[in-house]
Structure 1
Amino acid sequence: MAIPNTMFTTALIFTFFSLSAYSASKYMGPIIDVHVHAYEDDSPLFGLEHPPTLRGKTYRSAKNAAHLKQEVLQRFHKYNVVKAVVTTGELWLEDAPSTILVANAAKPPSILKKQHELGYLDVIAELAPFYEGKRLDHPSIERYFKLAEELGVPIGVHIFPGGPNFGLHYLPEMLGGMRAYNASPGQIENLLVKYPKLKLYIMHGGWPFIEDLKSLLYMHPNVYVDIAVVNWILPEKEVINYILALTDSGFGDRILYGSDQMVWPDIIDDAIATINDSDALTLTQKADIFYNNAAKFLGLTNKQMSQHRTKKNTR
């Protein structure tokens, strides 16, 4: 049937504005960041400019621990970050007790267990033997997986990528143990079989091992993946394509937003913008990545989620 010109024009206008509204839709709800770091003044990272990322950006570090805390907590308020898993988060807990979830993995399991008993450990993270040249299935690391299952707390494991691109060459004294051949997410599968009750998330997206990651997600429903680092260090198109490869495979409900904020607060802005500015992701997908998936993974109550969703957004 022929469509009259006026009807055709109206249909085109309607389609155009519908697509524009769809592509321009931004998520304005609560955010959970599952990957943040707090430091004391003795950290060697302070004063260190982040070298150019694969986007060609550099980042200036906070001046000291107090400045870092101030800058990060301001961004939590700005972007409505209602929960944040913060390694050594006890340093910031008094400033944001309803937001900070304390994480640690740099202490012996006996100390972490005591810390949990005292209410100062919510997540075991960031477990990162990768920097020492060890795989996560190294015998010396297994005790952390055992503890995580025993305590019933999530565990976050660093695989790849990590540190700046070319970090081995920029900072050999800190990152000298990194090897790409130790980077596949598949290295944790035997531990997932041995400890089937683990609540585990792979940090940094497991990029670029997309097929290995899909295999783990297919086999183990208790495995999630955060997209920290990759969402500001890789080109935007690469990040979004990686996310779409997971969502198209049916795993969109297990992607978690993280920033991996260390001492460069501006990365939070870019990490959020990478997802929120994307026209390729639907509003529902953005909501899942920014909040819904993490709320489920962390076991938030209906009351907590209701409070988060009614909290005023300052953006």
Structure 2
Amino acid sequence: MRQFHLFIILAICLILGCKQNVPSENAEKATNEIYTGPIIDMHLHAYTEGDGMLGITHPPTLRKQTFQGAATAEELKKEVMARFEKYNIVKAVVTSGELWINDAPDKILIAKANQPADTLRQWHEQGKLQAIAEMAPFYGGIRADNPSQLPYFKLAEELGIPVGFHILPGGPNGGFHLMPQMLGGMRVYNAEPVQLEEVLVSYPNLRIYVMHGGWPYVEDMKALMYAHPNVYADIAVVNWILPEEELYAFLKPLITAGFGDRIMHGTDQMVWPETMDVAIASINNADFLSLEEKEDIFYDNAATFLGLSEEEIAKHKSKQQE
């Protein structure tokens, strides 16, 4: 009997020892490593001097942070360009990017929306349009499948250029009450990402990314991304306006569900360059992400979505941040 007990004890020790030597999936993925490779920002804005946005202080976010807006268009450009260098941002989709194209011709992809489809076509023919973004009928209470929006999706599919479609978050939290003249048309009941379903059925070759990740509709996003492999998401705004815990609670289910290869970095930097710092730190702080998953979000997924050549990707990755 004594030998039997010793055998049982030895067997238990061996089993426990084996378990201790086999790291769990979470342990393998957990990382404190900071990603320093190339970054693509899928969501930025440029402004001209005298624009009403300049100098505005962003009200407290859900992180209880405020951001002072750049006072001039030149200051804004200078601060953004400095962050291009600091963070190794090699490409950026910039609404009104023609204002900065001469300062970073190899980095800026010009995005435009809110213009007649024929005008967008002409700009594309002139080499002055690489994306239709951001489409934001949400602010006017108009859904993606409204007939007024369909010519833009049709044009984007025809030209083979991406579309960035904006839903929530719309403006700062409580923005409807802070700025009713600007944001008075938006409604939460018009915000779910599945409003894109009929658009995706009608234009199956459309390259589209849901701006702001589709937050807070994580189940909708999983369903939409499952059904339509051409749907990507940027995590702009949610990566600096939401508390990190909430950001991760939204992001992790998408990755767990298998969609980590279609999530892209963005900031929606308007006139607050500091938001770029917070957005990048939010992903680097996510210890549930492996370094490879951070690289996917910061660069690889967007490089695939934008159709960058192997040569350009190799060039970007050969210049690691010092």
Structure 1 partner of 2:306: 298
Structure 1 partner of 2:72: 64
Structure 1 partner of 2:103: 95
Q: Which one-letter code corresponds to 1:265 in the other structure? A: P
Q: Aligned ranges for residues 220-231 of structure 1 at < 5 Å? A: 220-231=228-239
Structure 1 gaps of 5+ residues are none
Structure 1 partner of 2:87: 79
Aligned equivalents of 1:83 and 1:106: distance in 2? 23
SS of the equivalent of 2:118 reads helix
Does residue 280 in structure 1 map to residue 288 in structure 2?
yes
Does residue 236 in structure 1 map to residue 244 in structure 2?
yes
Shift of 1:3: 11
Structure 1 segments of 4 or more deviating over 4 A? Answer: 1-4, 19-22
Aligned equivalents of 1:191 and 1:23: distance in 2? 39
Q: Which one-letter code corresponds to 1:202 in the other structure? A: V
SS of the equivalent of 1:221 reads coil
Change (3 A) 1:263 1:83: same
Aligned residue pairs, count: 304
Q: Aligned ranges for residues 249-268 of structure 1 at < 5 Å? A: 249-268=257-276
Change (3 A) 1:192 1:20: closer
Structure 1 partner of 2:6: none
Structure 2 partner of 1:196: 204
Aligned equivalents of 1:109 and 1:50: distance in 2? 32
Q: Which one-letter code corresponds to 2:246 in the other structure? A: E
**Scaled by the length of structure 2, what TM-score is found?**
0.91
Contact 2:29–2:290 (CA under 8 A) maintained in structure 1: no
Aligned equivalents of 2:29 and 2:251: distance in 1? 22
Shift of 1:44: 1.2
SS of the equivalent of 2:102 reads coil
Q: Which one-letter code corresponds to 2:98 in the other structure? A: E
Contact 1:61–1:264 (CA under 8 A) maintained in structure 2: yes
Structure 2 gaps of 5+ residues are 1-9
**Scaled by the length of structure 1, what TM-score is found?**
0.93
Contact 2:30–2:288 (CA under 8 A) maintained in structure 1: no
Could you say what the CA RMSD is over the residues aligned between the two structures, in angstroms? 1.8
Give aligned-pair identity as a percent: 56
Q: Which one-letter code corresponds to 2:272 in the other structure? A: W
Structure 2 partner of 1:43: 51
Q: Which one-letter code corresponds to 1:253 in the other structure? A: D
Q: 1:182-223 CA deviation, whole Å, 9 max, x = no partner?
A: 000011110100001100000011011111111110100000
Does residue 247 in structure 1 map to residue 264 in structure 2?
no
Q: 1:211-236 CA deviation, whole Å, 9 max, x = no partner?
A: 11111101000000110000000010
Q: Which has the larger radius of gyration?
A: 2
Q: Which one-letter code corresponds to 2:249 in the other structure? A: N
Q: Aligned ranges for residues 123-142 of structure 1 at < 5 Å? A: 123-142=131-150
Structure 1 partner of 2:115: 107
